[in-house]
């Protein structure tokens, strides 16, 4: 692997908690596909990890609930012919998933009022525009 994969800040994916599984890939590779285990399956036990702060862990468990099986997050990679590159791809995907899932919620938007003067000016301009269009017809509108 290319080194520690940072989730966010000083928090990294602990290599000891990653479980790797390799199998034959259906991706590119020609006859090479039939003989080598280039597909990578990376598993990370999100429910029992001690690498994440508790707040992040709760947030990730909640946001990734649909992807988890018994608290374990699984990522597959079979994009490349090389098992090594697929390992790297899977680790990067896992780190990106966890970074997105542990991100703090966005700040709530405060509703703002449209100033009364702007609204009155808009209505006045609409009225003037209507009068202009009404004045173009040959009929008198009494």
pLDDT averaged over every residue in the chain: 85
Residue 119: pLDDT band (50, 70, 90) is: very high
Q: How far apart are CA 76 and CA 89, in angstroms?
A: 9
The CA radius of gyration of the chain, in Å to the nearest whole number, is 29
Helix, strand, coil % in the chain, rounded to nearest 5: 40, 20, 40
Surface-to-core class of residue 17, CB atoms within 10 Å of its CB (0-12 exposed, 13-18 middle, 19+ buried): middle
**Look-up of token digits 């000016």:** 121
Full DSSP string of 32-87: GGGT---EEEEEEETTT-SSS-HHHHHHHHHHTTTT-BTTEEEEEE-SSS-HHHHH
Which tens digits make up the pLDDT trace of 10-43? 888 888 888 888 887 765 666 666 667 778 899 9
pTM above 0.85, yes or no: no
């Amino acid at each position: 692997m290319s080194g520690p994969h940072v989730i966010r800040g000083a928090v990294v994916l602990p290599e000891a908690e990653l479980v790797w599984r390799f199998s034959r890939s259906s991706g590119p590779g020609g006859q090479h596909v039939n003989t080598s285990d280039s597909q990578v399956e990376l598993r990370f036990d999100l429910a029992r990890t001690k690498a994440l702060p508790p707040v992040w862990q709760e947030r990730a468990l909640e946001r990734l609930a649909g992807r988890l099986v018994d608290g374990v997050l699984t990522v597959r990679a079979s994009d490349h012919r090389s098992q090594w590159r697929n390992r790297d791809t899977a680790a990067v995907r896992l780190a990106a998933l966890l970074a997105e899932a542990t991100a703090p919620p966005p700040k709530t938007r405060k509703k703002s009022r449209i100033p009364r003067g702007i609204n009155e000016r808009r209505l006045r301009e609409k009225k003037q525009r209507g009068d202009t269009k009404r004045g173009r017809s040959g009929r008198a509108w009494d």
